[in-house]
Structure 1
Amino acid sequence: MCENRAMTHRVVVLARPGVLPMELSLVHELFGAAGDRYEVTTCGLAPGPVRVSADFSLFVELGPDALAEADTVVVPGARDPHDNLLTAPLAGPLAAAMAMIRPGARIASVCTGAFVLAAAGLLDGRRATTHWRSVPAFRRAFPDVRLDPDVLYTDEGDVLTSAGGAAGIDLCLHLIRRDHGTAVAVEVARTHVVPPHRDGGQAQFIELPVAISDESSTSALRSWLLGHLDHPVDLDELARRSTMSKRTLTRRFREETGLSPIEWLNHQRLSQARWLLESTDLPVDQVAERAGFGTGGSLRLRLRDTLGVSPTTYRATFRGPRPTQGPESKLMARQPQAR
């Protein structure tokens, strides 16, 4: 979370040779849509033209000195045959640039930008992810990193990584949510017509030998659950509603969302509770009841386990004007579900 919410948070994106234009621009688009909460700038290894992965170049006015003033640094992926990131620690201009980052700054990567963070020694002993096609090479090069290829992004506090380019959107929304709460992140997501949160991980995007039948999809069950989060359910009831065995239902849920049915449901309930804390004056016990946690004690325990704060502290931090739209979970029901 930003230490001083009254000040604009400066995000600096590092454009190195071969940078992927989509990954560079999505950082500007997402954080820029959060209003004056963020100032987003781009820097290169030196001021001047930077050849991207497509058939054009960017002119970057700022050099690596800009990294010293960043609150958050984002390193997008790149296609540069001269990187040598797989065989040795960082060296040359890229090493010098990364050394400019001030202590305490938050550092994030998109896609294969994780190779830069790993080569800089920022991921040793930490959980990280990268694009699924690069997983074997990453593991060979950086065996000390706890690579998780099955998630869209990882959050280790001051160091975050994301999978493919679109997962950079998920990461940016996560950071905005972490800094300014669910309501702001949902509004940014609505502006760009993307889900405020996607379930599951990148395993769902790896080609499977057999397609999932629409008749066996859990989408109808998930839609029902989003409208009945306060309804106490267990796996037996979910299996009956889906007309599947518990084993088949759990397998389908993992194939489609990356989570078990109960894990998915608990995540939706937490999103609902966070929205209610931000947008209403309901007592904590009523928030817990409406979100499906039953008691205020259960909600307090879940918030402390996942966010490290109490409901009262969360509300005091993120309370803002009441949004005109419904809670995040209901907005998600109107968005295409990740498959």
Structure 2
Amino acid sequence: MTPLLNVSDVRKYFPIRKGVFLRREVGRVHAVDGVSLQVRAGETLGIVGESGCGKSTLARCVTGLYPVTSGSIEFDGAPIGGKGFRRDVQMIFQDPYGSLNPRRRVGSIIADPLVIHRIGNAAERRRRVQELMELVGLNPEHFNRFPAEFSGGQRQRIGIARALASRPRLVVCDEPVSALDVSIQAQVINLLKDLQAELGLTYVFIAHDLSVVRYVSDRVAVMYLGRIVEIAPGEDLYKTPRHPYTNALLSAASVADPDLSARRERIVLTGDVPSPITPPSGCRFHPRCPKAQARCVREDPLLLPGGDHSAACHFPVVPGERLGAEHAGIPQESTEPGLGRTEPDRGGE
């Protein structure tokens, strides 16, 4: 069965330029560096990782907002950007305040995809806008109001309605609840799940909150410094993580049960995240990894295809294994001026 979305060895580099008149390229930020993944129709693929790991850049590559440096992205068996692609793939942005034009009425904002793709006449568009507002839990009579007259949660619902206007098949959710209060987050997440069931949507869901990703996702991909280091069905990844980085992320996630939270051992990673301008040789996680060995410096582990649960690690975590913070990993010499050697963080967490 052909996947709905196929990302193959995608790389996105941002040039660093110097000079005033003759600006020359002096380096590159490796924002996304060799990502391959597939998304099946009707599922939700969650993507998690630290800030700056490349999640949002990957999302913008998938939606065609950023051209890729190399690699390929196919939607429904064809390269992205073809006829109908813009209607079939939409995005929900992180900031419900910045993603809506404050000088335009919400009815015209939601109707933009209908106007751009020449769907219906004025009366049909107005009717469709009101149907969408009702679908996402807004009063359809408020289509003539400005965004400032709505709360943060309501503004995100407006963004969701706009994304659904063209009846897309794939929706990329770029941290859609991170700017909302906890109680509002739950409402928006449940709305997204209900819409997926009702409309048959496929989601790529990006978030920092691991509990949110676990709740909404069928499969979860973990990113670190521009690469996917582990991908697995949601419950498998949370119960038996194989990559040390995934293990550390899960140890820091919030747990509702206070007794379980008190018994759980926190894994504190030493050092800082390496620079994406000069990423480490071999495994990119080895300067902070509690299991790092000499092989990790020399050889870049591959995320091998096949099987439901894959991890790019030479020495994957064994179920029940304890990883302590006393392991400092193998520090990495950096060639970027001013960075020097990665030293362990002495300031605690």
- TM-score strictly above 0.5: no
Q: TM-score, normalised by structure 1?
A: 0.28
**Larger RCO (CA within 8 A; separation ≥ 6):** 2
Structure with the greater alpha carbon radius of gyration: 2
Q: TM-score, normalised by structure 2?
A: 0.28
More helix by share: 1
More strand by share: 2
